[in-house]
Structure 1
């Protein structure tokens, strides 16, 4: 029987008689086992018990390794979990306004070739309780994808502790300075760097881009909350936290208890409470159930998840008051210390918003609601010359957006591959969809495994994901007012006493005794009770007896685990539902709203900035200016306008159309620089958008003076451009025929030539010129030229 080899019981206890240890010993053992346990239940139970004991020892040894890893990681001066080698280029502590951020150059792994002519790629990691490195955590990551594509890569990380007096605005200015340094390192590249901001880094980058738009190329924000009041009822529990805590006074209290520092472990604890089933059971059980194969992956992730950092008290208070509670970023209400308004409408770079319906930390309404907060409609986006693209994943969680290898190989690979296309896309609101190339009929025209398509969207379609409720705005505005009142009371009556009692030693002890931090320390080699674990774990590994999946007790274990998860999920749903109900009832009270001066207020200080009269005048002036430009320009404007008009006939666009645009730019390279080409694309799109009839009617005038041979070359060029990725759609082909007719109207008529003497030739030529100069009579037929 298998239990005879149990390493925890002496072998002599189960030693068989000598006659059973000969060649026929096995049949004798099986016969005895079948006689004593005819259904095999006992043997299955003993096998499962032995496997359970071994897994338990291995599990606790992994916990010990996790604790040792945590202590080693936290004792480093510059801890991070990047999976790539780097070198420091700029230390933020040396800037005029010092910060704990730094700019790193990512060194390409062996065998990876970097193309110096390609656009730089910059990843900014979130500082929301954890340390840096998640954006380059493993080969299949945001950085890994960009390196494989040949882009020079840079990483903006941070140190565990902030600089004295550091503010959010200091960090924003540091990131701008880092990008200027990246641009200076690539003077021959005209495109600005593509910048990726994960989670908290996303809204921070948007602030920087609103203040200094000229240093940013395309911006990808992954799982980044920008509209904090938004959310679908029943699926956004974190947005009620401030209201149920009475505002941001608790943040100030926690910072004061930390002697001016806010421990990021508190933020991590808030994240973990969102999903108690995963935090308290599922994650740990998955390791226990698969301890033979999951150890490495688990420890790699825990190295980042347990790498807690510290934020400055002023920083976290600014974030909570202005963003989480005040929601001032998406409504252009933030003003810097030197008087500059942070208005996201100032962005001139395309913005890609990547979010997921499975994300309970940054649900789609919070990732996309800022678009609705700022703009009245898609026409307003176009008028501001902005390109906004959003991509909705169906299932992945918050961390999966920038950690999952499958997401990196699919979504992030496509975003990276199409960044040049995104950079020249006309202004507007688009949604992306990704399809597998092998499942399409036109697979031979697609260069990679997936195809990224862009479909125009309007605000009615956007509202299906944002689900805006005006009555909820008044509730959250009430929370903001009460938060200001409670914070004022705390600062007046409690803060002086708290600060007087706190010392650096007590603050350090409080951080060390945080439940999350303490859990790592207790299960490490510094705890003498773990001294036997390494020896016992090695014994198990040397003589492992893993139970098979068909063991009935292993199946029962899985069923029990699923039931525990179901119960914890039920508790979460009950808790979140009760919290939401209490929040809506409490802050929906007219008496409470009136007490803070909000009852009956139609705007509740969330007035959309796009509705301001001066902004309307700006849009009207811009539209009039573009209408006047419809008849200005030459052949480059005519060609680009023709391309946009023909390609605009399709309901969606993708990278194959970018091939056409790129081919067009190659044809115009001798006349138009890359920056000028981008300006042409956007300007001609606006002209067609504002008045398509006038844009087409003035097209022949743009070609005036071009010879017939030049016009033939232009038409041949357009034909090659449109054929770059297959045949045009039926609508596109019809539009191309219309363009050909407009080009023919610009053709020069053949000059009149006579075979008489030179005098008569001159006379006839003069008469012909006079006839062409005179207005033609409307006789219903066109005058035929002389032959």
Structure 2
């Protein structure tokens, strides 16, 4: 009994101290918030930055800016490597999330030797600023980066997180010549997509009756939309974390978690504003209208936003654990734009995607584990992605170990591969049925009707009734802002908390891990989380059922002009102009199959052999780099090499037999040159593992074309695994779908 009493006393002392220290952490959070929002240009970047272009000084001013990230001590930057540009999301929070930690998108890119730039923003928008004006400003920023690196080995790699992802995609479709590879992380592009029972955020617009509420919120803000409402939407998706787990984790680990919590809250609480025109565009054109993937967004000059115009490789990073941007919203735009992989190739497009199994939305940008794995691999292998032949690929990662072949060619702790995929792999992740698409189309029409009604009957008198002072007062009274102010040192009662916390710091008595009352506390915490999760699941199920029932009504669909029996939308047809350009390009490539030299022949042979494997391995690319370095006199620039890869790849697609038959004509008469090229080719192929099966069959054919089949000095590199060949059934090229680079 005395032991139980002692444990109770020990726990009560610790709980009292933790409660006081936790309140003091909230006080520090409030003070930090007030200090942060008082700055002219608040951000959470962990790196020094040098202002390059202030968007407020442009002819069409915006509240965005381009800065150069100053490398920290000990980090060496190669100015001839392609620069990285991180565009931060403006979705209610302040800038800096891409450089929030040393292990971040910016951090790993600099460690890989790339110059880094950052496009951020100020809390207040410039009057008259629109999404289109921001796009033009960001184009000028990227032009500036290009001009600062005239000798770089490629155009800038641009990273767009969340909201910045779709903004970057819009700009890349309008100005494709500015971009190197695009890394689009956690960004929604197909806004209606999802699966039943998950991701209910996509129903929000319909359940609220459309975007009239967005317009009214902007009017209540005197022409500005308070970003705190966007943050509130994020928090509503996970009430157990918002109402309990985030705070409880600090309370229960007060001696170790306070600094981490305060660091994150500095960004999470940095709310920013948007102009009414900006948020209305976002809601009407994207989230409710779903016009981006459909190619229905028009700029003021009449230019259409068509994602098929993008010429740079697109790397899409998403997660099954992301309930804000699920994989369907991140990837199903591909199904809207292209009928099959051949059409992706016809547009010269390379799309690579990778799906994390569990990380949440914010973890895609801020998780140290993700930065050390996925983002490190993206940065280290960006040239691999850039030279991939057109098509659809999935990036996969295998841990490097003692048994890893050519481990010295692997950067970091993971082997990155790009494996060929088809549109069926995207479809297998799930998506809308035709009935679902009609429901969302109905919600879009209802939104348009409600918005027009609001603008005609309510908006005029509401705008006249509101003053800027009233709008500022309402912003300050937002619940998210109020919690920071209420618990800051501005509250005189918090002085007592501060004094008590200072006294505890010198007399801290943490409870032992075996204390039974601590175990009871942990069980209660888990029960609270379970209860809140159950409540969330019930609310989500109800919201889905209501949305499906209301907007699935044939009567409502007919009333707003949606045919209840309409067929699902098909991928957009290729324009006559693009078809004409494509036919001209095909004729040109066919006429040049017999042209070229040793370089073209070797690359054509590599593509032919590698296509049997259906993947690209970073070790093969590293080996290819070594070959290029060893032949510096004949070295091509990366853009030239990329063009050569694409031309040889398409020649193999158009007429594989003629392309292979032409190889002997492209080879030099010098036998030693042919043999050296073949050996180098074999080293590249073997870098990622034993050459066997169909690859070995094709290697034997290439050896014959190169005239080295009977050379005893090369017998070790022309042998192949006959058992593997038999298991492959002696397969040969079987049409366009089988031609993937290896």
Do the aligned partners of 2:406 and 2:688 also contact (CA within 8 Å) in 1?
no
Q: 2:617 aligns with which of 654, 658, 672?
A: 654
Offset from partner CA, 1:225-265 (integer Å, 9 cap, x none) = 00000011111111000000000000000000000000000
Distance 2:567 2:136 in 1: 32
Q: CA deviation at 1:338?
A: 0.5
| Residue in 2 that maps onto 1:756 | none
Aligned residues: 708
Q: CA deviation at 1:700?
A: 2.6
Q: CA deviation at 1:694?
A: 2.3
Q: CA deviation at 1:662?
A: 2.4
Do the aligned partners of 2:628 and 2:635 also contact (CA within 8 Å) in 1?
no
Matched, 1:627 2:590: yes
Offset from partner CA, 1:647-693 (integer Å, 9 cap, x none) = 22223221012124324544375264432211010111112123322
Q: 2:443 aligns with which of 479, 501, 505?
A: 479
Q: 2:559 aligns with which of 590, 595, 601?
A: 595
Distance 2:686 2:423 in 1: 34
| Residue in 1 that maps onto 2:108 | 145
Distance 1:438 1:363 in 2: 32
Q: CA deviation at 1:549?
A: 1.5
Distance 1:178 1:259 in 2: 30
Do the aligned partners of 1:375 and 1:381 also contact (CA within 8 Å) in 2?
yes
| Residue in 1 that maps onto 2:607 | 644
1:631 aligned counterpart, secondary structure: coil
Matched, 1:744 2:713: no
2:254 aligned counterpart, secondary structure: coil
Distance 1:592 1:282 in 2: 41
| Residue in 1 that maps onto 2:725 | none
2:429 aligned counterpart, secondary structure: helix
Matched, 1:199 2:157: no
Q: CA deviation at 1:96?
A: 1.7
Q: CA deviation at 1:203?
A: 0.5
Following superposition of structure 1 onto structure 2, how do residues 283-432 of structure 1 map, counting pairs within 5 Å?
283-432=246-395
| Residue in 2 that maps onto 1:770 | none
| Residue in 2 that maps onto 1:22 | none
Distance 1:187 1:315 in 2: 34
| Residue in 2 that maps onto 1:210 | 173
| Residue in 1 that maps onto 2:26 | 63
2:573 aligned counterpart, secondary structure: helix
Matched, 1:463 2:427: yes
2:332 aligned counterpart, secondary structure: helix
| Residue in 2 that maps onto 1:47 | 10
Offset from partner CA, 1:535-564 (integer Å, 9 cap, x none) = 100111111111012111110011111111
Distance 1:443 1:394 in 2: 28
Q: CA deviation at 1:698?
A: 2.4
Q: CA deviation at 1:122?
A: 0.9
The unaligned stretches of length 5 or more in structure 1 are: 1-36, 748-787
Q: 1:581 aligns with which of 545, 552, 564?
A: 545
| Residue in 1 that maps onto 2:513 | 549
What is the TM-score normalised by the length of structure 2? Answer: 0.92
2:119 aligned counterpart, secondary structure: strand
Matched, 1:735 2:698: yes
Matched, 1:572 2:536: yes
Distance 2:672 2:575 in 1: 51
Distance 1:613 1:674 in 2: 32
Q: CA deviation at 1:464?
A: 1.5
Do the aligned partners of 1:437 and 1:443 also contact (CA within 8 Å) in 2?
no
Instruction: Report the CA distance shift for 1:745/1:277 in structure 2 as closer, same or farther (over 3 A).
Output: closer
Could you tell which deviates more after superposition, 609-618 or 406-415? Answer: 609-618
Q: 2:145 aligns with which of 158, 179, 182?
A: 182
2:652 aligned counterpart, secondary structure: helix
Q: CA deviation at 1:709?
A: 4.8
What is the RMSD of the two structures over their aligned residues, measured on CA atoms?
2.0
Following superposition of structure 1 onto structure 2, how do residues 134-173 of structure 1 map, counting pairs within 5 Å?
134-173=97-136
1:321 aligned counterpart, secondary structure: helix
Matched, 1:699 2:663: yes
Q: CA deviation at 1:626?
A: 3.3
What is the TM-score normalised by the length of structure 1? Answer: 0.87
Q: CA deviation at 1:617?
A: 5.7
Q: CA deviation at 1:461?
A: 1.3
| Residue in 2 that maps onto 1:517 | 481
Instruction: Report the CA distance shift for 1:668/1:457 in structure 2 as closer, same or farther (over 3 A).
Output: farther
Offset from partner CA, 1:175-215 (integer Å, 9 cap, x none) = 11111101101111141111111100000000111111111
Matched, 1:508 2:478: no
1:438 aligned counterpart, secondary structure: coil
| Residue in 2 that maps onto 1:536 | 500
2:704 aligned counterpart, secondary structure: helix
Instruction: Report the CA distance shift for 1:633/1:552 in structure 2 as closer, same or farther (over 3 A).
Output: same
Instruction: Report the CA distance shift for 1:289/1:746 in structure 2 as closer, same or farther (over 3 A).
Output: closer
Matched, 1:223 2:190: no
